Structure 1
Amino acid sequence: MLTSISIGFLALIGAGATAGWFVIKAQDHAQWVEHTYEVERRVSQLRVLIERLEVSRRGYLLSHRPQTRQVFIETVRNEPVLIADLKRLTIDNPIQQRNLIIIETMAADQFRMLSTSMVTSDRDPQLATVIFAHDQSIGLTKRLREVTMDMLGEEGRLLQIRIAEQRAATRILFIVLGAAGVLAVLVAISSILVLRRYTGGLVESRAAVERLNAELEDRVEERTRDLSRANEEIQRFAYIVSHDLRSPLVNVMGFTGELEAATKPLLALIEKVEREAPDLLDNDAALAAREDLPEAIGFIRTSTQKMDRLINAILRLSREGKRVLAPQPIDLVELTESIVGALQHRLDELGATVIVERPMPVPTADRLAVEQILSNLIENAVKYLKPGRPGRVVVSARIDRGRIDIAVADNGRGIDPRDHDRIFDLFRRSGQQDQPGEGIGLAHVRALAYRLGGLVDCTSTLGEGATFTLSLPIQPVSPQG
């Protein structure tokens, strides 16, 4: 169906072009018909001038009136102009050009004869009458009439031909227009059928999409409820696990302290035995008391302290997930400068600078969450500067496609491209582990960004620096529990 409609449209365009061509041809034929009428008018005017010359000559010979002489002079003046116009109008017709040459020659002879009799009449009227009776002017005038009649006959012949051509072109034009009209009706009917079929399919598709959307909304709502419940369960589980882990951890830390305290009298006893009865002391026992036991206690204490920090971090994440967001307009310049001010002492020690670009857009979001995110990103940028290179951190923000992108860019160590996504996982770190941390910060940043309806990502080249971008909606998300 679409192929036939396309062919119909092409045929309709062809018919329109053909009709336009025939309209042009009809206009061309009409112009030639008008041209023929114009030539006939000029030939008729020439015949009038020829007759007027003879009449004015006779009238002057009879009356010698100056008005009659003036008519003769004006007619003589207009005749060459009219002949020249006819030559121009019939330049494409050799027959008419030959007739005009004959007329031009005879008109000159006529003028000479007529003017001779008129001049003679001024001196000798009787002689002028004799000249009038015997000259050839009457025969010449008659011949001029015949030639002009031949010209009118030629133009009549051309007129019949051109009118016939005009009628034929008009007839073909009407046929083409009729065919184009029929074709347009057929194309319109085909288009209506296609549109009805397409519209019907579109209505069915829209109804199907609406059904799918309704089902999808139900599924999304159900999945959201499931995720909310799962999130709450995870938060409760994290709280319970961290709380339950803390009890045995406290016991381990307490017993470690007791073991450490017990090593002191043990070492004193070993030293006493070494002084008083060295034969009773085993070297392995002395080595274990002096070195192995304190080293093991130190490992236990270090591990329990790390475990304690991890449990505290998990508790913080669990508590943050329960906090209700309070969206408000945030002055990013003021917020960033307050964070930089808190780090100024550390920046002075490292010889680093933090540049806050102005102006910055004003998002509407939870201020505490945004502050925690920016604090973590700026502190990480300062923490992981490249030794031997003056540290430089740039904080900027811009609006892009209805969102606010806040970028924290540094010239520090950079991050291996393989770790750009993994650094946001819990307890995952990248690069040399020479700085304190548990791998919690960026996971916390991503969780906060998600709660704000935003995203955070990293672009970096190892050894050249890193850029962390926080993308937030301009309008606040719905407060979450």
Structure 2
Amino acid sequence: MSAAASLPLLDAGSRALLQGLGALHTVVVAAEPSGRVVFVHDPDGLLGSTDLENPDVSTRGTPAARAIVSALADARTQDEPLPLRVFPTADEAHQLRVFQTADEAPQPLRVALLDRNDEVAAPSDELRRKNEELETCVRSVSHDLRSPLVAVLGFTRLLRDEFGEPIGRTGQHFLDRIEQAGKNMERLLHDLLELTRMEETPNTPVHVNPAAVLQQLAAEKKLALDEARITLAFQNETPVVVCDRTRLYQLFSNLIGNAIRFVPNDGSGRIDVRIEDVEDGWQLDVDDNGPGVAEQDRARIFDPFRTAKHARTSTDGKKSSGLGLAIVHKIVEAHDGRIHVENTPSGGARFRIWLPRP
């Protein structure tokens, strides 16, 4: 089947998507959930003259055709929406990837992309270089902005102390607004620097008592917890974990700080932290009794600047930088661990982390 012959079967959005992919990839094949092939882009003839819907293709087709038919058949067995996946090919010269367009699209499709490995590697190297440049830029800008911000906050405090009476209550109110905005910016710059430093600062694994870390955090966050009437509960005795202590402190600090912004502040708010030995490492759970995380938000909740709609500003006016959970994710990755979010049986959020034994 030629690409031109199949295009009339497609809606305008799918047609534009596949034509765009055809300009970027060596081979593009799209099929409906039923298995009917509706688009083929193969200018180099890697699929031969094979009819991809012919049952014999799995044994008599070209290596590229066999790999694509097998991958699309495997995709049809998936009940969940299929993310981008890499499938094996008969040689090492090509890379095969398959993804599924959104179910809510007018015409959901399974799409196979076949590329030569050298064509895949070049964009990856370029993307890595661009990412490194971006991180360097963010680090530089965040550092350079701190000096004028310190000056703004310093002169704001000086103006309040020296001229508080002449400017009156209205002036004091404006100074408070300036100072709070400056502190929010200071927090954002701090978190941006932390996020960019993760890659270049190696972990220093030591034996850590998580209970001691949590006791330190409970003391530091006592004012915020008391103001919102939130209970923070954790074990007095916990298993010893091998990890970077500073990173574990940051991990718990960000997760507890995130939970404080979501749980009720009417006296019923509760955050529970548990650490358990498991067969191949340690499991860390941070639960709260807030509104939980909607299923459609869970996949991207660890993206930078991703905030949930139920979050509130803390009682002192502090706002989230939107980077706390991204930092947590980076810390877990740096320890070769895993993290995911789910809802507890009562409906609150549960952040579950697994850290491997060294």
Q: Taking structure 1 as the reference length, what is the TM-score of the superposition?
A: 0.41
CA distance in 1, matches of 2:250, 2:155: 37
User: 1:226 aligns to what?
Assistant: 126
Q: Please tell me whether the aligned partners of residues 253 and 304 of structure 1 are also in contact (alpha carbons under 8 angstroms).
A: yes
User: 1:212 aligns to what?
Assistant: 94
User: What pairs up with 1:299-338 in 2 under 5 angstroms?
Assistant: 299-326=177-204, 328=205, 335-338=209-212
Change (3 A) 1:260 1:388: closer
- Displacement of 1:367 in angstroms is 5.7
User: 1:395 aligns to what?
Assistant: 274
User: 2:138 aligns to what?
Assistant: 238
CA distance in 2, matches of 1:204, 1:407: 45
Equivalent of 2:330 in 428, 442, 447? 447
Q: Please tell me whether the aligned partners of residues 413 and 464 of structure 1 are also in contact (alpha carbons under 8 angstroms).
A: yes
Change (3 A) 1:405 1:247: same
- Displacement of 1:385 in angstroms is 4.9
Amino acid paired to 2:274 = V
Q: Please tell me whether the aligned partners of residues 211 and 234 of structure 2 are also in contact (alpha carbons under 8 angstroms).
A: no
More strand by share: 2
Equivalent of 2:287 in 405, 410, 424? 410
Change (3 A) 1:298 1:452: same
User: 2:340 aligns to what?
Assistant: 457
Q: Please tell me whether the aligned partners of residues 356 and 395 of structure 1 are also in contact (alpha carbons under 8 angstroms).
A: no
User: 2:213 aligns to what?
Assistant: 339
CA distance in 2, matches of 1:356, 1:405: 17
Q: Please tell me whether the aligned partners of residues 382 and 393 of structure 1 are also in contact (alpha carbons under 8 angstroms).
A: no
Determine helix, strand or coil for the equivalent of 2:285: strand
CA distance in 2, matches of 1:393, 1:433: 21
- Displacement of 1:399 in angstroms is 5.8
- Displacement of 1:404 in angstroms is 5.4
User: What pairs up with 1:345-356 in 2 under 5 angstroms?
Assistant: 345=219, 346=222, 352-355=232-235
User: What pairs up with 1:242-321 in 2 under 5 angstroms?
Assistant: 242-253=142-153, 255-256=155-156, 259-260=159-160, 263=163, 267=166, 289-321=167-199
CA distance in 1, matches of 2:275, 2:164: 58
- Displacement of 1:408 in angstroms is 1.0
CA distance in 1, matches of 2:352, 2:150: 40
Amino acid paired to 1:469 = R
Determine helix, strand or coil for the equivalent of 2:190: helix
CA distance in 2, matches of 1:205, 1:341: 59
CA distance in 1, matches of 2:159, 2:312: 34
Q: Percent identity?
A: 27
- Please say which structure displays the higher CA radius of gyration: 1
Q: Please tell me whether the aligned partners of residues 146 and 186 of structure 2 are also in contact (alpha carbons under 8 angstroms).
A: yes
CA distance in 1, matches of 2:252, 2:351: 10
Change (3 A) 1:263 1:211: same
Q: Which runs of 5+ in 2 are unaligned?
A: 1-57, 68-88, 97-114
Amino acid paired to 1:412 = N
Change (3 A) 1:203 1:399: farther
Task: Give RMSD over aligned pairs.
Answer: 4.6
Q: Please tell me whether the aligned partners of residues 302 and 326 of structure 2 are also in contact (alpha carbons under 8 angstroms).
A: yes
Q: Please tell me whether the aligned partners of residues 397 and 407 of structure 1 are also in contact (alpha carbons under 8 angstroms).
A: yes
User: What pairs up with 1:11-26 in 2 under 5 angstroms?
Assistant: none
CA distance in 2, matches of 1:248, 1:456: 37
Change (3 A) 1:210 1:341: same
User: 1:281 aligns to what?
Assistant: none
Q: Please tell me whether the aligned partners of residues 414 and 463 of structure 1 are also in contact (alpha carbons under 8 angstroms).
A: no
Amino acid paired to 2:312 = Q
User: 2:19 aligns to what?
Assistant: none
Change (3 A) 1:468 1:240: same
CA distance in 2, matches of 1:303, 1:390: 27
Change (3 A) 1:399 1:325: same
- Displacement of 1:340 in angstroms is 3.0
Q: Please tell me whether the aligned partners of residues 243 and 335 of structure 2 are also in contact (alpha carbons under 8 angstroms).
A: yes
User: 1:432 aligns to what?
Assistant: 312
Q: Please tell me whether the aligned partners of residues 149 and 186 of structure 2 are also in contact (alpha carbons under 8 angstroms).
A: yes
Change (3 A) 1:308 1:209: same
Q: Taking structure 2 as the reference length, what is the TM-score of the superposition?
A: 0.52
- Displacement of 1:311 in angstroms is 1.7
Aligned positions, number: 250
Q: Please tell me whether the aligned partners of residues 274 and 286 of structure 2 are also in contact (alpha carbons under 8 angstroms).
A: yes
More helix by share: 1
Determine helix, strand or coil for the equivalent of 1:210: coil
CA distance in 2, matches of 1:341, 1:261: 35
Amino acid paired to 1:232 = E
Amino acid paired to 2:330 = A
User: What pairs up with 1:72-91 in 2 under 5 angstroms?
Assistant: none
